[in-house]
Amino acid sequence: MRGVLRLLAKPFTETAGLARWMLVAGVAITVIFLVLALFAPWIAPYGFAQSSADGVRFPKAGAPSGDHLLGTDRLFFDVFSRVIWGARTAIEVVVLSILICVAVGVPLGLVSGYYGGWMDRILVMIMDALFAFPSFLLAIVFSFLFTDIIGGSVLAVALSLSVIYIPQYFRVVRNTTVSAKEATYVEAARAIGASDGVIMRRYLFGNVVQSVPVLGTLNAADAILTLAGLGFLGLGIQSTDAAEWGHDLNRALADAGSGIWWTGLFPGLAIVLLVTGLTLVGEGLNETVNPTLRRRRLLPVVMSARQETTMTEGGN
């Protein structure tokens, strides 16, 4: 337990000054959004697709007021509620897609790196091709496919996001496995008769998953943007199924010229804040993990006063 706590505290204790401040800010922002997502039904005053309360219809594109803190949009929806429900959608999609990425990318990379051979070559080639292709276009194509198969749901979007991030997990895990499988402890395990499955699960797994959390945080920021982008193009989740910031911004675009600023400003700010928070966390982690960027606090070195006698004696 203490070991886990120390591991979690490591990024904070190993950074100083500005870097630590940025990391703390990032964690704070991320936690706020997690709370919004978890408790959305209690925090949001209305439902995400609710256009009336107590039999009274909400105003159409009404300005922010006491009843509707951030106003209402052209579909009579309450903007404040949709921003909060949007946090839930975003977190749901991102968590789901990272889980899929880890569930597919890690074992695939482990097996591919461990056994090598032609299967490894083909997988590397496919993953490299996926990685080289513009990720947003890839997400567009796959969401086109998945929404055709399973409809425009959270799962369909999460799957299309996974496709663009799996190559990164595969690559990291595979390359670590390739170098780790030559290590002495693996050889020792093999010598005592451990099977391939046991070596991969018990010996290699723990060593190759260490870079996954950093990758996950950095991808989460990117995933939020991709999700919003798909929603903006109308390829993601429909606005009556769930609140999605990107989709709301698309509808708000028509308002931009007519002085209705509240329908677009708030979902947009929500995206910017959450992505900034996740990026700060990712960068903070990266600065502690990547030694070329790290700048530790310098401890002043106090030299004891020189003494004439020791100088002359030590000189010889």
Partner 1 sequence: MTRSGSLPRYILQRVLLVIPMIWVILTLVFVVLRVAPGDPVSAALGGKLSDEALDQRRAALGFNEPLIEQYWDYLSAVARLDFGTTFSDNQPVLQVVRDNGGATLSLTLAAFLLALVLGIPLGLVAGRFRDTIPDVVIRMFGILTYAAPVFFVGFLLQAYAAKPLGLPTSGASSPITAFTVEPVTHILLVDAFLSGDGAAIEDVLKHLVLPALTLGLLVCGVFIRLVRVNILQTMQSDYVEAAEARGIARGKVTRRHAFRNALVPVITVIGLQFALLLGGAVLTESTFNWPGLGNKLVDYINDRDYGAVQGIITVFAVAVVLISLLVDIVNALIDPRVRY
Chain residues that interact with partner 1, rule: CB under 8 A: 17-18, 125-126, 128-130, 132-137, 140-142, 144-145, 148-149, 221, 225, 228-229, 232-235, 246, 249-250, 252-253, 255-257, 261, 264-265, 268, 271-273, 275-276, 279-280, 292-293
**Helix residue ranges, H only, the chain:** 2-13, 17-38, 40-43, 79-115, 117-132, 135-150, 154-180, 184-191, 196-198, 205-208, 212-232, 245-252, 262-289, 308-315
Taking the least distance from each CB to partner 1, the nearer of 131 and 205 is: 131
Residue 37 or 199: which CB sits closer to partner 1?
Answer: 37
Fill in the amino acid letter for 276.
Answer: T
| Rounded Cα gap, residues 135 and 161, in angstroms | 9
**Closest distance to partner 1 from the beta carbon of 223 (Å):** 12
Q: Which is nearer to partner 1, 199 or 249 (CB)?
A: 249
What is the nearest approach in angstroms of partner 1 to the Cβ of residue 221?
A: 7
Nearer to partner 1, 143 or 199 (CB): 143
Q: Which is nearer to partner 1, 111 or 274 (CB)?
A: 274
Angle at 151 between CA 149 and CA 156, to 5 degrees: 80
Report the distance separating Cα 178 and Cα 117, nearest Å: 12
**Distance from the first to the final alpha carbon of the chain:** 55
Q: Which two tokens stand for residue 213?
A: 């959390």
For partner 1, the closer CB: 28 or 253: 253
Q: Which is nearer to partner 1, 84 or 186 (CB)?
A: 84
Taking the complex as a whole, how short is the minimal distance between the CB of residue 232 and partner 1, in angstroms?
5
> Which residue matches tokens 């070195």?
301
Residue 230's closest CA among 292, 142, 119, 101? 142
Nearest distance from C-beta of residue 167 to partner 1, angstroms: 12
Which is nearer to partner 1, 46 or 232 (by Cβ)? 232
DSSP E strands, the chain: 52-53, 56-57
Separation of alpha carbons 93 and 185, rounded Å: 39
CB of 197 to partner 1, least distance (A): 30
Work out how close the CB of 128 gets to partner 1 at its nearest, in angstroms, rounded to a whole number: 7
Do 296 and 15 form a contact (C-beta atoms < 8 A)?
Answer: no
| Closest separation in Å from C-beta 184 to partner 1 | 31
Q: Which of 272, 4, 214, 258 is nearest to 98 (CA)?
A: 214
Closest residue by Cα to residue 165 from 94, 254, 113: 94
The nearest distance, CB 68 to partner 1, in angstroms, is: 19
